[in-house]
Structure 1
Amino acid sequence: MKTLLNIIWLVLSGFWLFLGYMLAAVIMFVFIITIPWGIAAARIGVYALWPFGKTVVPTPTAGVGSFLGNVIWVVLAGWWIALEHLLSGIALCITIIGIPFGIANFKMIPVALMPLGKQIVDMP
C-alpha cells in the first residue's frame, strides 16, 4: 500500500517538492559555510520524494546549535520551501482523492522549516 501511495505522491507533488529541496541544497553547497544546510536539504528532499513508510523523529543529541542553525535555515530557504508545501497541500485538498496527500504536505511544513536536529527513519 505504501508503494502505491508513494507513486501517487510522486506524480502529484513529490517530484516538484524534491526539485525545490535540491535547488536549495545546490545553493547551500555553493557557499562553503552553508554545506550543513545543503546536506539537510538533500536529506529532507529525498524524504519529500518518497515519504510514505518513513517518519521524522527528533535527534536526541540536538541542542542549541541545531536551533540556531534552523533559525538561519528559515531565513535562507526554509520559508519558501514551507510555502511550497503549503501551496501544494492546498491544491491537493481541492479534490477528495488529494486530501490525504494535502495533509501529508501540511505535516511536512515543520520539517521544511526546521530540518536540523531531525532524523528520517523507517516506520515499524
Structure 2
Amino acid sequence: MRTVLNVLNFVLGGFLTTLSWLLATVVSIICIFTLPLTRSCWEITKLSLVPFGNEAVHVDELAPESKSRLMNTGGTLLNILWVIFFGWWLCLLHIAAGITQCLTIIGIPVGIANFKIAAIALWPVGRRVVPVEVAQAAREASARRRFQ
C-alpha cells in the first residue's frame, strides 16, 4: 500500500515538491553560509519523494545519549536561518500541493502527507528521515525514559 501511495504522491505533485527541495539543497551547497543546512535539506528531500513508510524524527529522540545544549542552540539558530531563506516558500509549496491534492478523493491521503511535510519544512534542522518502525521504536523508548 505504501508503494501505491508513494507513486500517487509522485504523480500528483510530489515530483514538483521534491524538485523544490533539491533546488534548496543545491542553493544551500552553493551559498557557503548555508552549508550546515544541506543535511537537513537532503533529509526532507527524501521524505518529500517517499512520504509513506518514512517519518522525520528529531535526533534527540533517535540518540538521546548524544543530546547537547550547544548543538540544540546551534540547531535553533540554523532553523531561524532556514525559515528566512528556504522554509517559508517550501512550506507554502507543500500547503498548495496539499490543497490541490485534497480536491480529489484519491489524493486526500497524499494531501495530508504534504501538510505534515509543510510543518516540517519550517523547522527541519535536527531531523532525520527514518522508516516508520524506527520512529515508533524511538518514541516508545523516549516515553519509557521519561516515565521511569
TM-score range, shorter chain: over 0.9
Aligned residues: 124
Q: Does 1:4 align with 2:4?
A: yes
CA shift for structure 1 position 34: 1.1
Residue 63 (structure 1) aligns with: 72
Report which of the two has the higher share of helix. 2
Residue 23 (structure 2) aligns with: 23
Asked if structure 1 preserves the Cα contact closer than 8 Å seen for 2:88 and 2:122, the reply is yes
- Distance, in Å, in 2 between the alignment partners of 1:102 and 1:110 is 13
Question: Which of 98, 103, 107 does residue 116 from structure 2 map onto?
Answer: 107
CA shift for structure 1 position 99: 1.1
- Distance, in Å, in 1 between the alignment partners of 2:131 and 2:2 is 12
Q: Which stretch has the larger CA shift, 46-55 or 74-83?
A: 46-55
Gaps of 5+ in 1: none
Larger Rg: 2
Residue 40 (structure 1) aligns with: 40
Secondary structure at 1:108 match in 2: helix
Q: Give TM-score scaled by structure 2 length.
A: 0.79
Secondary structure at 2:51 match in 1: coil
- Distance, in Å, in 2 between the alignment partners of 1:99 and 1:51 is 14
- Distance, in Å, in 1 between the alignment partners of 2:35 and 2:95 is 26
Q: Deviations over 1:70-104 (max 9, x none)?
A: 01100001000000000001111111111111111
Secondary structure at 2:38 match in 1: helix
Question: Which of 65, 69, 81 does residue 90 from structure 2 map onto?
Answer: 81
Deviation above 2 Å: which 4+ runs of structure 1? none
Gaps of 5+ in 2: 61-66, 134-148
Q: Give TM-score scaled by structure 1 length.
A: 0.94
RMSD of Structure 2 on Structure 1 (CA): 1.1
